[in-house]
Structure 1
Amino acid sequence: MRLPTSRDPRCPFDPPAELRELPAMSRLEFPDGHLGWLATTAEAARTVLGDPRFSARREFKHAPVRFTTPGEPGRPAPPGFFGAMDPPEHTRYRRLLTGQFTLRRMRLLEPRVARIAAGRLDAMAAAGPPVDLVSAYALPIPSMVICELLGVPYEDHEFFQERGLQLVAVGGDVEKASADLGAYLGELVRRKRAEPGDDLISGLTGDLADEELINVAMILLVAGHETSANMLALGVFALLESGLPYEEGAVEELLRWLAIVQHGAPSRAARQDVEVAGTLVRKGETVALSLPVINRDPAVFDRPDVLDPGREEARRHLSFGHGVHQCLGQQLARMELRIGYGALFGRFPGLRLAVPAARVPLKQDSAVFGVTCLPVAWD
């Protein structure tokens, strides 16, 4: 089978229908002709993501869709692109960054995130309904936060947001977007070396060479706003469309039910023969993962297709991955979502869609699922 690259707009929150009834491991034809596998259960996913016999190195992998990351496909990742590396190279970068995203540090950041959210809500109230929740609220919050953490000027947000969209788009101009961002961050790194500040980029200037630091900053800058912004807006859309109230603890269920990382990502290449969920994966074969289907595994979740904000087992989702590559910024994302949802529905308890749900434009052909805009109003 080929991997679907878009969701059905009639039921946008559900995984593609053709993936729903597949076994744990199914043969998948990759765009370059490689015959690999698609994993669709939690058991299979944990094996693929957690077993060191599977590699994240992109020179060993085949892309499940026509989508590339910065650099030349089929070659090792450039210095600093730790997400496409295995230990011990990956471990070195991970250790340098882990301390910046601990639960303790995120708790210290909470008051600042709450002030940012309150400021955006004040601006929304002043503008009056209807407003586009994406541009007015969902995108600015994580963008402002990651800019402050990294030491990137927020006034340049339109520049890096546009390039970030190209980097996660299937068929996007990855080469140009990467070059533009690299040049921008290169100049920023040089300024930080000359005049360091109290930010993450400045803190790493003594540990990383320029190319490494530029690429690490690029990953964190794009991932730090793109995923959280899409999750915040899409979660609001899901709650409003379903008529469910927001309640504390709903973040994990929304992360599970929406699973915004799609198109077979992440993926891993077998470096030797490995058995996965009773299936033999041969050395050299790539396994792609369908997180939207995996997060609705009936072996893990009761009534998996139901959005239940009070679900006790919701935290067993794999939206942040598993194993050594588990999302570095997951605590930051959880905190931004918890504060973002809570502040929004607390300020506007009568929040509603300003257009019929079918008219909300969806992001298709992107590695990160979401909405391009979300018109909302309130009483």
Structure 2
Amino acid sequence: MASMLLGSFSLASSLTAGSYVTKASWYKTKKIQNEYLIIRHQQQHNLKHHYRCIEAASTSKERGRSYSVTAASGESFEYEHQDPRPKSLLVSTKDSLNTFFRFTRPVGMIATAINIISGSLLAVENLSDISPTFFIGLLKAMAVILPMHIYNVGLNTLTDFEIDKINKPNLPMASGEYSLGTVTIIVASSLILSFGLGWIVGSLPLLWVISFNFIFSSAYSMKLPLLRWKRSSVLTAINYIVDRGIMFNLGLFLHMKTYVFKRSTMYPRSLIFAIVFMSIFGIVIALFKDIPDIEGDEKFGIRTLAVCLGPKWVFWFCISLLEMAYGAAILFVGATSSFLWSKLITGLGHAFLASILWYHAKSVDVKSKEETFSFYILIWKMLMAECFILPFVR
């Protein structure tokens, strides 16, 4: 009996011990599995972080390629970056318009539009002339002239493609956003549109404006015998004087005076002043625009005044010329006006512009392409400001 009890006790002990061993093994196995899963999860997390770093550092040309990374466990993972959402029609249209806007050289386009308004206002004799008839004539002038501006910059883009890669690499054609075929279509379409609308409108002075602009801009840019005037600073200055200084302002004045208002031609002092002052601005722009482009011009053998005499000499010559023009405007135009409001606006306005020009000129490093280009844009802004003053010259 005792032996039976002892055997039973031994069997129970062995079963209990076996049970404890089994449970311990199970818990140990479970612990190992959990640790493995944690390590596995950590590796995947690190791998995803690594992919995000690769994606952030990749360039636009590298997008779409596959990346293969080998994990520490020896397994291979592949990641292929693709844009999950294609551009919407609205975004694509916005990008296209932005590219076209940059192609038109927006500073020049805006300055041309403001100059059209200013030249048209020179024909206004009293406030009653500011009527729907005036605005219709103004819109016709805009519709005819602005496409010709696009032709000008487009033709210059075609002929200066290699130079722009150095001087203006952000332009659509130089950067590869526009192809040669695209720019050619834009240039041809703009030219046809300008002359077509000019013919439909039927204003002879507007046809003069776009015809002279077409001839002089083509002579400035085209690589043909006796042309390519941009190679000479003197010919470039003559181009600006005749085209933008004389024909542009005279043509717009006659368009409003004879075609819109149907009046006899009389040439007021405001028109003479506008022609003279805009011609001076034309000379300054023709010379100054070459300062930021010295590197490309030298490489392609374009002997501008900035290349021959140096940027510093041309810079201060342009500043001096503009300052003298502002001084003459104050003394001989503003001070001699018979209207008090004209004296105040033209006198104080030109004094203010002269002080701004001198203030900014003193801090420009003429050896810096970025600073001289920024100042070149400022000169265009000064021209726009002058366009607002011109109609008040009486």
Instruction: Judge same fold: TM > 0.5, yes or no.
Output: no
Greater percentage in helix: 2
Q: RCO (CA 8 Å, sep 6+): is it higher in 1 or 2? A: 1
Decide which structure has the larger Cα Rg and report it: 2
Query: What is the TM-score normalised by the length of structure 1?
Result: 0.31
Query: What is the TM-score normalised by the length of structure 2?
Result: 0.30
Greater percentage in strand: 1
